[in-house]
Amino acid sequence: MTTDYTADEMMSVAAARALGDGMSCFVGIGLPSKAANLARRAHAPGLTLIYESGCLGAKPSRLPLSIGDGELADTSDAVVSVPEIFNYWLQPGRIDVGFLGAAQLDKFGNINTTVIGSDYHDPKVRLPGAGGAPEIAASCREVFVVLRQNPRAFVEKVDFVTSFGHGTGKGDRERLGLPGRGPTLVVTDLGLLRPDPETSELTLTELHPGVELERAVAATGWTLKVADDLKTTPAPTEEELTVLRDLEKASK
């Protein structure tokens, strides 16, 4: 083990560990893509990466700049149309994990990537928008979310529900007929959160090494629930850090 790593490296490693060999993963650009590509290189060579642009089984040599990066098509097992990605692969529930980022996340795992502010037509900030994230959140068998934890991102209630998590609590997904389990894991630079089995409210289950509980509580815009058996995330190994840093170096 090593202590020479950053909070972002810990987050990327923890997110990558959640992906297993043989899984299929619908990957968002940014932090989710970094974690997914790290997993494929470090411990899950059989992880199938799927990108919204139609790339199946992508094996990029560097982090893609966007879903339209030619590196994805060049290294894929197949490139299909966008309608096929959504209509045949995603919506019928054929993809194990959707890996998403967020601008805002609330205590039930609802995601906002649309607007900051209460007025959609005159927002404080207009964000990139939905893309395929709402479909990913609805139809993947489960969803992992990765983002840095602070009160601006972790809010009591998102300003706009771009991608549905657990709505207002347990049972909302079922009532809407959404096939996937929704967010089952949130990975941050401070720890890991999982939905409570009874309420679906996100609960802190692990803290990263050296992070005090008070810091995680202060970084959350709601009264954070903490698991009775709160654990400490294992620190990154030298191998994980080497693979991650080599990936980042290749992307510069």
| pLDDT score, position 151 | 97
Residue 57: left (phi > 0), alpha (psi -120 to 50), or beta? Answer: left
Strand partners, 52: none
Distance between CA atoms of residues 246 and 164, nearest Å: 35
Instruction: Please report the pLDDT score of residue 141 as a whole number.
Output: 98
Question: Which structure tokens are listed for 33?
Answer: 């893509």
Residues 6+ away with beta carbon under 8 Å from 187:
11, 14, 15, 18, 35, 144, 145, 146
Burial of residue 237 (CB within 10 Å: 0-12, 13-18, 19+) is: middle
Catalytic residue flag (residue 156): no
pLDDT in tens, 54-85: 999 999 999 999 999 999 999 999 999 999 99
Whole-angstrom distance, CA of residue 166 vs CA of residue 109: 6
For residue 48, which of 79, 22, 74, 70 has the smallest C-alpha distance? 22
User: Which of 52, 135, 201, 240 is an active site residue?
Assistant: 52
Question: Cα separations (Å) of 27 from 67, 93, 189, 220, 237?
Answer: 9, 15, 19, 26, 24
User: What is the token pair recorded at 208?
Assistant: 């990263």
Q: What percent of the chain has pLDDT over 70?
A: 99
With cut-offs at 50, 70 and 90, classify the pLDDT of residue 20: very high
For residues 47 and 25, the answer to whether their CB atoms sit within 8 Å is yes
The pLDDT value recorded for residue 252 is: 85
Task: Say whether pLDDT at 90 is over 70.
Answer: yes
pLDDT digits (tens, 9 = 90+) for 118-171: 999 999 999 999 989 999 999 999 999 999 999 999 999 999 999 999 999 999
Q: In this model, does residue 1 exceed pLDDT 80?
A: no
Give me the phi and psi of 6, to 5 degrees please: -95, 170
Q: How far apart are CA 52 and CA 252, in angstroms?
A: 23
Q: How far out from the chain centre does Cα 179 lie? A: 18
Distance of CA 86 to the CA centre of its chain: 19
Q: How confident is the model at residue 184 (pLDDT cuts 50, 70, 90)?
A: very high
Return d(Cα 22, Cα 40) in angstroms, integer: 10
Work out the mean pLDDT of the chain and round it to a whole number. 96
Q: CA 250, CA 71: separation in Å to the nearest integer?
A: 12
Q: pLDDT class for 3, splitting at 50, 70, 90? A: low
The pLDDT of residue 190 is above 80 = yes
Q: What is the pLDDT of residues 163-174, one digit of tens each?
A: 999 999 999 999
Position of tokens 């297993």? 20
pLDDT in tens, 195-220: 999 999 999 999 999 999 999 999 99
pLDDT number for residue 28: 87
pLDDT of residue 80: 97
pLDDT in tens, 37-58: 999 999 999 999 999 999 999 9
Residue whose entry in the numeric block shows the structure tokens 């654990």: 231
Q: What is the mean pLDDT of residues 4-19?
A: 97
